[in-house]
């Protein structure tokens, strides 16, 4: 009987350890989305950047749903997206970088980091791009999303449904 109890106890400890390890790993990877792309990563990082979940009931557009729709229209929520502005674009020859396409001319802090190395403080990090988008949208000038071409052109509108689904799917 003592031998069976030891085996059962040892097995239970092993299962518990595996369970805790699995839970810890899941929690860590869920919080490390900066090096990921895609609409769910955009929604997660928009939340962590400070965007409210959904302000549609207030008739407002400064929320995560609009943030994700803008990023989808600008880059497909690709954290490594680079767009070189054409001669006919505002700020010709400059680059828009990251998921939210932050312009290097207006926000030169996008440079000065090792290319290809994702850190929490460079444009290749989804979280940095989301935090910068939040800061620009809430900079007190009243421009809000007017800084983004997707807003002016209305291309973000086709992504509002997908953005709403992603925000509600990943929001915690």
Beta strands in 31-171 (DSSP E): 82-84, 95-97, 102-103
d(CA 52, CA 69): 14
Q: What is the pLDDT of residue 151?
A: 94
User: pLDDT averaged over the chain?
Assistant: 77
Of residues 91, 95, 101, the one with CA closest to residue 133: 101
Q: What is the pLDDT of residue 29?
A: 31
Residue 114 reports pLDDT greater than 50:
yes
> Which of 29-43, 119-133, 141-155 has the weakest average pLDDT?
29-43
pLDDT digits (tens, 9 = 90+) for 55-72: 888 878 778 999 999 999
pLDDT digits (tens, 9 = 90+) for 93-108: 888 889 999 888 887 7
Q: What is the pLDDT of residue 93?
A: 84
**Residue 75 near residue 46, CB atoms below 8 Å:** no
């Amino acid at each position: 009987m003592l031998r069976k109890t030891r085996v059962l106890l040892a097995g239970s400890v092993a299962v518990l350890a595996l369970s805790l390890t699995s839970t810890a790993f899941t929690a860590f990877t869920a919080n490390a989305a900066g090096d990921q792309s895609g609409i769910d990563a955009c929604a997660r990082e928009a939340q962590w950047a400070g965007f409210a979940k959904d302000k549609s009931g207030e008739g407002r557009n400064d929320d995560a749903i609009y943030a994700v729709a803008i990023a989808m229209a600008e880059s497909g929520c690709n954290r490594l997206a680079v767009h070189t502005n054409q001669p006919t674009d505002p700020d010709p020859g400059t680059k828009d970088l990251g998921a939210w396409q932050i312009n290097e001319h207006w926000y030169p802090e996008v440079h000065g980091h090792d290319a290809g190395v994702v850190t929490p403080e460079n444009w290749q990090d989804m979280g940095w791009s989301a935090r910068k988008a939040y800061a620009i949208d809430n900079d007190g000038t009243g421009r809000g999303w007017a800084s983004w071409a997707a807003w002016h052109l209305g291309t973000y509108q086709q992504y509002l449904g997908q953005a709403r689904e992603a925000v509600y799917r990943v929001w915690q």
